Structure 1
């Protein structure tokens, strides 16, 4: 074998050895991640198994069901109360997402690119509200909403949750990384502040808006305490509160798990639809 012919064989052997060393150094981490993944997914799988188990038959945790059926899910979807709760949760979550994204992007743009007296003091004071737990302001907020006849109404459910300091902080930090030359060029061309906001700020912040939209949707979709206090009838009761009321009734565990499984579907749809923007937002985090 000539020297020229032997060189690719040696390089291939070296590459295989390098890959083997990398695998031996990484397999403990891979094994740990696999175990954590199984532990994370197991409760969800158990919920699906119980939801698909025939009513009145033995199921987890006593034994694995002998057969699976969609009767429980069909029963849940045909329930008028479940449909009403789901629609109320969608209204609560979607309206909150739209308003929070608009207001937080406006506030983030103002705090990041505008110059006005007291800007830093106002921003850090607003940010300090994140350290105050919602439970501490629950009673004063309820008294205020009740005095305005907002109890058991959608506006009383939505409005008190719209001041989101974390959303403003994320938008400000992202907009700070945008080049000032874009805004200066738009002002030179005679663009108004609203035009700059709609044509520059919103398109460039699309990744972080999508990320923030997913978080806000999940926060409101899974919110329990405030909807429990304000929504006092089925007309405004959300899905989380409605499912909690089923626990006090004589409802079979399989039906309850079917309701919980169906309630997860909107969250999964939102995540998969906006997954591309989530990845872009993470990739752009360290870029100037």
Structure 2
């Protein structure tokens, strides 16, 4: 019986996790007219009308473009900055390194809502309201990303870096030719997490993107609730937003497993 407890528990947790997603998809494919559960279980009446309806009613294409720009640019820049900072904190020796690292990490205890108004005032003074850069820049100082990079890079053998310096390699060349190839698993793992964080982000895009043209998918779908749009069409729009997340996870799944497999290895 003891061996069955864990699988049964995992199955129950999986069912609880998947149930809202299944309900969303069922309602999205239900006939138009506001039909929800349990009527949506009638799969014989499944239709694509809700998807075509929400695409015609809302500017989904523009919102999806905004979400992609916000997510992809943030992923690239955060991975770049976090990997460089992680390398510096893990392998470089300079005065105040530990104090600086732990002070930076302490910002994790400050909720984003507490810094929302200062962020907005600063970006507004710089003319960043309703712009891509105003949406992206405040999210680039990611403490969690730096911490994960530092922990992963710290496990790499120092001999690799010493050999590269003996060969006359500069710090930038060491970073590009030694560090980056060795941290690809954690880059992929962190890239998935950062993409999901930004793709599903709601509060900051809502505050900084004040015009309809700068709405992301999460913000745009929330505005549909106040318009003449059925719950079926809203669920169809929500289903569309999940597709990129599934694609990103599917493409990078191999790197995720590699990162988990190697995260506990010491050289």
Instruction: Give the TM-score taking structure 1 as reference length.
Output: 0.89
Residue 40 (structure 1) aligned to one of 7, 11, 17: 17
CA, structure 1 residues 54+126, in 2 after alignment: closer, same or farther (shift >3 Å)? same
SS at match of 2:115: helix
CA, structure 1 residues 58+236, in 2 after alignment: closer, same or farther (shift >3 Å)? closer
1:47-126 matches, cutoff 5 A? 47-56=24-33, 58-61=35-38, 64-65=41-42, 67-78=45-56, 81-126=59-104
Instruction: Give the TM-score taking structure 2 as reference length.
Output: 0.95
Q: Distance in 2 between the 1:282 and 1:90 partners?
A: 27
Q: State the partner residue of 1:251.
A: 229
SS at match of 1:223: coil
In the TM superposition, what whole-angstrom CA distance separates every residue of 1:190-218 from its partner, at most 9, and x where no partner exists? 11111100111001000001110011001
Q: State the partner residue of 1:143.
A: 121
For the Cα contact (< 8 Å) 2:27–2:40, is it kept in 1? no
Q: Distance in 1 between the 2:105 and 2:161 partners?
A: 25
For the Cα contact (< 8 Å) 2:67–2:199, is it kept in 1? yes
- Give the RMSD, CA atoms, in angstroms: 1.4
For the Cα contact (< 8 Å) 2:50–2:236, is it kept in 1? yes
1:142, CA displacement in angstroms?
Answer: 0.6
Q: Distance in 1 between the 2:41 and 2:178 partners?
A: 56
Q: State the partner residue of 2:8.
A: 31
Q: Distance in 2 between the 1:82 and 1:63 partners?
A: 24
Q: Is 1:273 the counterpart of 2:260 in the alignment? A: no
CA, structure 1 residues 98+150, in 2 after alignment: closer, same or farther (shift >3 Å)? same
More deviation in 66-75 or 121-130? 66-75
Residue 178 (structure 2) aligned to one of 200, 209, 233: 200
Count, aligned residues: 265
Structure 1's unaligned 5+ residue stretches are: 1-23
Q: Is 1:132 the counterpart of 2:110 in the alignment? A: yes
Q: Distance in 1 between the 2:245 and 2:86 partners?
A: 26
Structure 2's unaligned 5+ residue stretches are: none
For the Cα contact (< 8 Å) 1:52–1:72, is it kept in 2? yes
Q: State the partner residue of 1:10.
A: none
CA, structure 1 residues 57+247, in 2 after alignment: closer, same or farther (shift >3 Å)? closer
CA, structure 1 residues 177+57, in 2 after alignment: closer, same or farther (shift >3 Å)? closer
Residue 213 (structure 2) aligned to one of 231, 235, 238: 235
